[in-house]
Chain A
C-alpha cells in the first residue's frame, strides 16, 4: 500500500520549516523519521497535501546537559537516545524506554519529537517524558514557548501544538541516580504496549491507559504520604479510562496497571 500523492519540501533549516508551516498550516504535515506518519499515510488514514521533511535537519539532533535539565533535539533518533552517554548518566529512564520502542529498524529512523508530536497514548516515550515531568519546546514564526508535558497531550493523536508550530526540543530533569524502571507489557516484543508503566523518582507514567499518557497521581500521592509500594500500586488505575481491544479489556488493563506499577516501583527502589 502506498500513500496518496503529496507535495514535498525539504527545508534546509528550522526557520525554513517554520516558514513553510506558517504558509501551509493544517494542510501540511511535518515528517522526521516518518515512522508515525508514513504508516498511517500508507493505510490512507492520513493524506496531507504537503510533507515538510525535517529528517535531515542536523540542528534538531542533539542530547546535551543544559542547567538542571537534559535538552534533547526533537529530531534525535530513538537509537541515539537509547545509546546516549549523557542520558545514561543524567536521565537513564529515557534511554531505557527508547530501547523498548518498536524494533531496531524503527529506532534507527523514528525520532523522539515525532513520537511525542504523534501523541499515541499507546506509545512509550510520551509516558516516559510525562513521568519525568519534562517540557516540550515549540517554535513558530510567532516565537518560542515551553509547554509542560502535563499540558501537552490533549487527546488521542492530539496535542497543544498549534498548526504553525514545530516541536523542536524536549527537556527533562536530570534525575541522575534516582531509581527508575519501565515495565512494558506486550504480546510480542515488537507490539505496542498493552499497558506500560514508567517510574522514576516516585513519579509514575502510564502507557495506554486512557486518551493520553497519564500520571498515576493517586499512586504518587500515596507514595509521598508514606504508603508501601504494594498499597500505592493498588491505586495505579485510579482515574484512568483504558481502551478496550483484542489485547485487553478495560478490567484487564486496570489490573495490569496495578501489577506493573508495583513491579516497576519495586525495581526502581532497587528490589
Chain B
C-alpha cells in the first residue's frame, strides 16, 4: 500500500516534545565553547546624523572584551539588492547617518549575555535629528532624501508612466477606483534571529544561523566578508519559524562572523524580541490604487493596479516582490485588459522582505477588493460576479495578462464548493434578518478566490539518497524546513520508492559542507522541488538496486521489484535486501530535479464575521477554505500549513500592523503592542478538499505554504466591509481594528466621508 497521501505523524516530534528542538541559541557545540556574546547598540532615531560615539565607559564595564564601531570596521557598505542605486548601500555599522530605528551603530562583545545589555547602555551616541520619511507619499515627494547622493527616494520602478493608456476604461459602463493600504506587517517567527560563528585553525568559519536556506546564506556571507565561499561552512540548526523573513543571510550574520575573526574568539548573537521587531525584515507595505471597469452585466473589462511599495531604509529583497504583485495582478479573472505599475521607495523604517505570500497576497487583496467594489457598484452578488469572470477549466494552461502560465485550475468549482459548504444563501438570509432587526451583532460574509505562484523562479533542487548496510537511509536535501515537516515528508517519498519505513530514514539539511547545493525553503516551493528530487533520487536508487540485484539473483531486471526494503523477483520468494546490496557496494544516488515551470495553486475562502456595530469589533466566526495544491502527500502536514496560513491571514485582516509615528518611532515593537492573535481570537477552521494535480511533476503537487494567507486575508477584510455595507460603507483598510471600523461607521452615520 502506498504511503503517499496518508496522515503519517511527524518523526520530528518525539524529540521536539521531550528535550525540545535545538535552535541556534540552544547550541552547545564545542566549537562555540568560550564564545563571546554580541549585543548591538541600535539607533533610537529614525533619521539622524551621528555627531559622536563615545565607547569609553562601555569598554570599562564588567565582562566587556570589545566595543566596535564603524571606525574599526573594514567592510565596505553593501547593496542588498542589485538593481537599486549604488548610493543606497548599507553600512555594517552606521557611520555618519542612521536611517531607521534599530539600525546597528556599535557592537559590544562580552563574556556573558547579561553584561552585554549593561555595557551597551553605556555607549554614548550623539545624534543630530533629520526629518524622517515615514510614509510612501512623503517618500515619493522627494522633499527629504534618505540618500542625497541618489537624488531620489525611488529605489526601483517596474513599469513606467507610459504603460498606462488613456483609454483603458473607455469601453466600460462602470468604473470604480479606490486607494487601499496593504499594511506593513511583521513576520514575527517565535524564534528571533540568531547566529554564532567560530573560525577554525584551517582558516574556515563555521557559521550557525537561523535561516531558511543555508546555501544562500553561505554565498552571501562569503561575499560580504570578501572571502572564498569555500571558507564558509554554514550550519542551520532547528529553526523556529521563518515565514519568509529568514530567507538568506541578514547583515548581522556577517557581523557575527567578522567580529569572531576580529577578536579571535567565537561569537554568538541572539536578538531580543524588541530588537527583532525593528531589525528583522517586515512584509507587505504597499499603497495601492486600484481601478476596475466593466459592464453592468458583471463582466470585468479592464483593471489597473498602481503600486507604491515600501523598501524600508535599505533596499533588500522586498524591492523585488512587486514584480510578483504585477504578474499576479489579475488574479483568477480573465480580464481582457490589465495594466500595472510599481514604484518602490525608501523610507526611514525597517527594511522589507518576503512575508508568507510575498507579493501575491498584495495582488490578491487588491483584485479581490476591486471585484467586491465593482459588484457593489453594479448591485450584483459578489459570488456571481466572480464566477462570471473566471476562465473555465478547459482554458488551462491559461496565460494571464502578467505573462504567467497557470498550469491547472477549476476556479468556479472552488467557489461553488465553499459557497455550498457554508450554506451561502442561508448566511445571506441570516444577514438580511439581522439587518432588518437592527441587531448589534451584524453578520458579514466575505468571499475570496485566489491563484498564486509557487516555486516561482526557482524550480530546481538536488537530492541524495543513500541506503546503508544497516538498512537505514540518509536523505540529503537542499530545502530547509523550519516547521514544515520535511523530515517526515521527504522520508515518506523515499519510503514510497524503497519500502523502508520512515523511522529508518533520516533527512539531513542545512549543512553546506554536507550539502553544497540547495536553494532552500521559501515561496511554497519545497515539495515540488526538493521533495520531488528526493522522490526521483529514491526511484533511481531503486533502479540501481534492481540492476545490481539482477546479477546476484540471476534474474532479468524487468522481473524485479523493490518492496519492503528489498529487491524481489516478482512472484517468487527470492530476494536480496537493499542493506545487503549496500554492504557489497555503496548504494547512493544523487539526483537533480528541475520542474522548469512554477505551479499555480488556487482556491476560495469564505469568511463569516460577527461585527459589533456599537464598538466596531469584528470577530471571525467561521472560515471555510479550499486550498487546492494539487495532489497532497501528507494531509496532516498540508492541513497544518493551511491552518497557519489562515491564521496569519485573519491576523493581517483584523489585528496586525507595524506602525510608526511621524518621527519614525516604531509604536509596535513588542508583542504587547503588535497584535499577533492568540487562540482566543480565532475560530477553528473548516478545510474543504479539492486536489487538481499539476502535470509539472510526477507527484502532482503544488505548493501549500502560503495559500491560506493569500486567501484568508481578503476574505476576512471583505467580510468586515460586508458587515457594514448596509450603512453605506464600501471599504475599510486593514487591519480592520475596532477603532478603524467604528470610525468608518461613525462617519457613515454622521453623513460625512470616512
Interface residues of A (CB under 8 A from B): 1-2, 4-5, 43-44, 185, 187-191, 194, 246-249, 252, 255-256, 259
Contacts and interface: CB of A to CB of B under 8 A. Distances in A.
A43 B669 CA distance: 12
B42 to A, nearest CB: 13
Interface in B583-635: 614-615, 617
A150 to B, nearest CB: 29
Contacts of B668: 246
A248 B740 CA distance: 9
B684 interface: no
A188 B742 contact: no
Contacts of B673: 246
Contacts of A5: 118
Contact of A187 (B118, B272, B659, B737): B737
A255 B614 CA distance: 9
B681 interface: yes
B678 A190 contact: yes
Nearest to B654: A187
A2 B117 contact: yes
Nearest to A259: B614
B118 A4 contact: yes
Given A188-B680, A246-B659, 13 more contacts: A2-B117, A4-B118, A5-B118, A185-B617, A185-B738, A187-B655, A187-B675, A188-B675, A188-B681, A191-B672, A247-B739, A252-B739, A259-B614
A2 B680 contact: no
B22 to A, nearest CB: 23
B421 interface: no
Query: What secondary structure prevails in chain A residues at the interface with B?
Result: loop
B582 to A, nearest CB: 51
A187 B681 CA distance: 9
Query: What secondary structure prevails in chain B residues at the interface with A?
Result: loop
A255 B616 CA distance: 11
Contacts of B678: 188-190
Contacts of B121: 44
28 contacts: A1-B117, A1-B272, A2-B113, A2-B114, A4-B118, A5-B118, A43-B274, A44-B121, A185-B617, A187-B675, A187-B738, A188-B675, A188-B678, A189-B678, A189-B680, A190-B680, A191-B672, A246-B659, A246-B668, A246-B673, A246-B739, A247-B737, A247-B738, A249-B739, A252-B739, A252-B743, A255-B746, A259-B615
Contacts, number: 48
A185 B615 contact: yes
A4 B121 CA distance: 10
Contacts of B680: 188-190
A191 B737 CA distance: 14
Interface of B: 113-114, 117-118, 121, 272, 274, 614-615, 617, 655, 659, 667-668, 672-673, 675, 677-678, 680-681, 737-739, 742-743, 746
B117 A248 contact: no
Contacts of B738: 185, 187, 194, 247
Given A188-B678, A190-B678, A252 B737 contact: no
Contacts of B746: 255
A17 B633 CA distance: 63
A4 B617 CA distance: 40
Nearest to B742: A252
Give 7 nearest A-B pairs by CB, closest first.
A189-B680, A259-B614, A1-B272, A2-B114, A252-B739, A188-B681, A248-B739
Contacts of B681: 188-189
A64 B711 CA distance: 54
Contacts of A246: 659, 667-668, 673, 739
Contacts of A43: 274
A46 B625 CA distance: 48
A36 B482 CA distance: 34
Contact of A1 (B274, B614, B655, B739): B274
B544 to A, nearest CB: 55
Contacts of A248: 739
B667 to A, nearest CB: 6
A3 to B, nearest CB: 9
Nearest to B670: A43
A5 B119 CA distance: 12
Contacts of A4: 118
Nearest to B735: A187
Contacts of A247: 737-739
B659 A256 contact: no
Contacts of A1: 117, 272, 274
Contacts of B659: 246
A247 B741 CA distance: 12
B60 to A, nearest CB: 16
A248 B672 CA distance: 15
Contacts of B118: 4-5
A252 B745 CA distance: 12
| Among A2, A5, A191, A246, residue most surrounded by chain B Cβ atoms (within 10 Å) | A246
A256 B615 contact: yes
Nearest to B680: A189
B112 to A, nearest CB: 10
Contacts of B667: 246
Nearest to A256: B615
Given A2-B117, A5-B118, A259-B615, A188 B655 contact: yes
A145 B606 CA distance: 61
A248 B739 CA distance: 6
A232 B419 CA distance: 45
